[in-house]
Amino acid sequence: MQGENQLVELHVTGMHCNNCALSVHKMLEKKGYQNVFVSFANEEVKFTADKGLNVNNVIQDIEGLGFKVQQEEQGFVKEGFLGKIEHKFIFSLLFTLPLFLHMFLPFHWLHNPYVQLSLCLPVFVLGCAYFGKSAINSIKAGVPNMDVLIFVGSTSAFIYSIIGTLLGLGPNYMFYETTATIITLVLLGNVFEKRSVTQTTSAVKDLMKIQVDSAVRIVNGQAERVDINQLKIGDTLLVNEGDKIPTDGDIVWGDASVNESMLTGESIPVEKGKYDAVIGGTILERGSIRMLVTKVGNKTVLAQIIDLMKRAQAAKPPIQRLGDKVAAIFVPVVIGIALLTFVLAYFAFDIGFRQALLNAIAVMVISCPCAMGLATPTAVMVGLGRSAKQGVLIKGGDTVEEMTNLKYMVFDKTGTLSTGKFKIRDIKSELSDIETATLIHGLESYSNHPIAKSLVNAFANREKRKIVFTQVKEEKGLGIKAMDSEGHRYQIGSKQLVEDSKELGNYDVFLLRDDELVVRIAIDDEIKAGAKELVQTLKGQQIIPVILSGDRKEKCDALAASIGITEVYAEKLPHEKLELIESLKQGGKVAMVGDGINDGPALTTADVGVSLGDASQVAIQSAKVVLLNNDLQSITTLLKIGKHTLLTIKQNLFWAFFYNIFAIPLAAFGFLSPMLAALAMACSDVVVIGNSIRLKFKKL
């Protein structure tokens, strides 16, 4: 019998590219762990394993690959001076500068081979510790990384120089400045890379800054400030004007204006009153409230958004598979090319051992699988971060690519293309006003459907009597079935409840008591702002808009005609919606846009499910995209960001491939020295990451 699984989360430092993350990922999968998630940018490793796993063994395996695991309980671990990549670069630079400048400075002692050896040795030892350990362990893991090329190249130059020094072969055998310069320039590239990647992950860091570390809790009428981790569900908190709301909860006293821009991108404050839900991290701009805690820790909306963002940034779009395949075989191929370069140069073209070796070293140093590994994740991070700041949560890099290849965009009607706020146009009842209000308000309060919510609000202030329902059941697409304490059976919902079509008239909601129709309600719904403009945008991008709704055909046709949609499927039950989505998928990629309440199965079945809903639903949405501000304009934003993110990925991959295709032959034919090759290699990463960062500010 398989044991219960546990989630293991580790903070791993030292991963500076996708190849590093890939080596950790493959090692963990070989060990048999499930749901492996590795993000080099966020320095996170997560996986599930059987209960009773010795985490220390896993830590040893990861550190055996050349990375460092920092456990939570260790707290802040003070690094030595050489613990940071910036300090490694400064240390190397101090020894490399005199070595490099000996060609230009009139100091004869700098030409002494033993002086050069003493200057080069500290840099070489540092390079072996940093690149060598990573290189050897990546080979053991079966995923050779860029460090193999750097280590082999710098070591070849160093060993050749040592032999020349010991045998007294003269200055033509001195490559100490080449060794030190290669290591120093690659470290410089890593510094640029680290700082650039930090910028690409700023969206997640910005969200994490929103989190509150303390709260004011009311205990026996007294206020006390406590750590956020001490809060429990059911605690009462005091939040005053200007404070951040500490966690998710419901207002039990007071009124306030709450700025929810960190979730929705909408800067206009939202008015909140008693029983309204509030989200942790939002700002109370006016008023003072007491709130009841409903969610804590990683169950809060903000915590789930942060986790969602981290996972989304690590999800690979299909276009990355090409880069991954090339990067996986790249290092062995480059070493093969370097050996071939040396053999041909020395034996076939007879250009001398020294120059042949320099050409081979230049080939290894110029090659940069890191640029290919960084091309996709950095663009995805920036694209997803930019969309999140505008209230659009995309749950994976693969979704970005799917959004750019859509053939159909299917819309639910109620709450999606329409506002979901209904007005009663007409009501015909066989019951008294009090009984009508009592039954409709009581029954519809059990549903979250927009029509139900509107009816509850409409009858909230009318006179009612008390009624007790002993059984209540909601059937998606039909309505509510219930029984009261006196044994009466009730059904309220759509026209599917009424067998005789003559009794429908121009009504939308029907109430039956003991199978007898007693109330008919006609309702009106408003078209949501921006619906017509969105349809025109979709048509301009050759995406076919479709209405798929359970509402009456006359209403769906009227709305479709007013906003320019010609393909309409009305009066569909949830299982019929699924069948239609499956049918449309035969003709191309399908996005389904719904309110996230009734449309869960259809959202999941579509290639891309897009949910318009309030922030409190984020954790339970089955969609791949969540529009936090409930605005159709966000779909246009989604399409634009998806298009430009994919374009950025393609540009990055082009430059990464083009760079290697162009640079390797130059190095092989001796047009690039190893030092110039190291500088060019460092620049290639910066170009790719810089292009990704450009997406953050680019006008869409």
- Active-site amino acid positions: 412
The residues pairing with 544 across neighbouring beta strands, listed in sequence order, are 408
Sign of CA dihedral 56, 57, 60, 65: negative
Kindly report the number of other CB atoms within 10 A of residue 614's CB atom: 17
Residue 219 CB partners (closer than 8 Å, separation 6+) = none
CB contact set of 563 (below 8 Å; sequence gap of 6+): 417, 527, 531, 532, 535
Residue with token string 């991959």:
653
Helix (H) or strand (E) run with residue 271 in it: strand 270-272
Tokens 């109330």, located at residue: 519
Please say whether the dihedral angle defined by the alpha carbons of residues 581, 584, 588 and 591, taken in this order, is positive or negative: negative
Residues 181, 101: contact at Cβ < 8 Å?
Answer: no
How large is the greatest C-alpha to C-alpha distance in the chain, in angstroms? 112
Which tokens in the block code for residue 49?
Answer: 């394993």
Dihedral, CA atoms, 537, 540, 542, 544, nearest 10 degrees? 40
Which of 296, 298, 303, 302 is closest to 232 using CA atoms?
Answer: 296
Nearest of 58, 59, 69 to residue 11 by alpha carbon = 69
Strand partners, 42: none
Q: In the chain, how many H helices and how many E strands?
A: 22, 26
540 contacts: CB under 8 Å, gap ≥ 6: none
Q: How far apart are CA 442 and CA 445, in angstroms?
A: 6
Name the one residue in this structure whose structure tokens are 């309060």. 445
Among the listed residues 360, 233, 220, the one whose alpha carbon sits nearest the alpha carbon of residue 292: 233
Tracing tokens 């002494």 back to the chain, one arrives at 112
Tell me which DSSP letter residue 343 carries. H
Angle made by CA atoms 54, 56, 62, in degrees to the nearest 5:
120
Q: What is the DSSP letter of 3?
A: P
Q: What is the DSSP letter of 4?
A: P
Helices (H), 475-573: 531-540, 553-563
Separation CA 353–CA 384 (nearest Å): 51
| CA pseudo-torsion sign 12, 15, 17, 22 | negative
Q: How many CB atoms lie within 10 A of CB 342?
A: 21
Q: Report the C-alpha gap between 558 and 78 in whole angstroms.
A: 67
Per the CB < 8 A criterion, the answer to whether 453 and 414 are in contact is no
